[in-house]
Structure 1
């Protein structure tokens, strides 16, 4: 893709995310995005149908990157140990804090967080051991509980402007997951 196109799309997304951090999605207009990006309205419409299309593309882009970090194509098993993928995902979220803060701050972005929970749930479900302390537990309920707790900690971390590093949060979440036998690490 042409560098100018990439630069223009990047400016549009940056302006859009900045506006989402400041106001509700419903209040944002294409005019505001174009002014913030220092572009003509028509230029935005060359790349996106409307603000809903722009939102969808931003969500898809960030979701794909996270999915790639959690399930890299070049890994033999098509997944990393959950501890490694958790750290990679949290480091990515840390680098893109404004986007994730905006998604949480705009309560209408439920779809985005559902997608995050699904990825986390799949990772936990694939790696949890149902013997010893978990042998009498209902796996579906246990996986949902651990996912909700983990995503809840991540939400708190993002909304509180990341008072701890991604590594610290990954270590804490991992410690809690490990206590419930989410430990089938791949060596």
Structure 2
């Protein structure tokens, strides 16, 4: 019984710390966030913080890792195909997840978030869907890689805008926009 209580307490502490970091990142970049203010916001002491994380960057990496883990798990349910309907369904489910978890993802995908994480997330999605620097027909390797970098960065910017301005389009509409802009070239 004590073990269950301890696990629940650990989960609660981690959740409060994650929520606190996300709230603070809405206000300022992570490099301006101190452990002291993070602990004050979470209403825990520094010793408790350090029992779970080494610093605020470690906490952010854990949040990002959970998101990437979710994406990998969700993507694994789809066949590695280049079918338009499959790609649209995959994107739509991802964007539904973004809406359901917008508290975190709005920050993770914002200018305050880690650009490398954002690129990693979309690279994972696109490579599973058949878009990667080696898949495009014709062109030199530099051209193929440049195209891939362009669609990943463009997608990140489009999602940042969508999350920042209140989901003015449905998940399905966003899936169709991303598909048309990024996938059409390769998949049609």
Q: Same fold (TM over 0.5)?
A: yes
Counterpart of 1:121? 126
Aligned: 1:157 with 2:152: no
**Equivalent pairs, count:** 175
Asked if structure 2 preserves the Cα contact closer than 8 Å seen for 1:70 and 1:79, the reply is: no
Runs of 4+ in structure 1 displaced over 6 angstroms? none
CA distance in 1 between counterparts of 2:137 and 2:16 reads: 52
Aligned residue for 2:130, secondary structure, equals: helix
Which residue is 2:71 aligned to?
Answer: 66
Match in the other structure for 1:170: 175
TM-score normalised over the length of structure 2: 0.76
| Structure 2 gaps, min length 5 | none
Change (3 A) 1:56 1:181: closer
Match of residue 20, structure 1, among 22, 25, 28: 25
Calculate the TM-score normalised by the size of structure 1: 0.77
Indicate the residue corresponding to 1:34 in structure 2: 39
After superposition, the C-alpha distances for 1:126-161 in whole angstroms (9 at most, x for unaligned) are 59xx8xxx8656655554444444333222212323
- The 2-side partners of 1:46 and 1:178 are apart by 44
The answer for unaligned runs of 5 or more in structure 1 is none
3-state secondary structure, aligned to 1:106: coil
Partner of residue 14, structure 2? 9
Looking at structure 2, the residues matched to 79 and 28 of structure 1 have their Cα atoms a distance apart, in angstroms, of 42
> Per the alignment, in what secondary structure is the counterpart of residue 169 of structure 2?
coil
For 2:60, the equivalent position in structure 1 comes to: 55
RMSD over aligned CA atoms reads 2.9
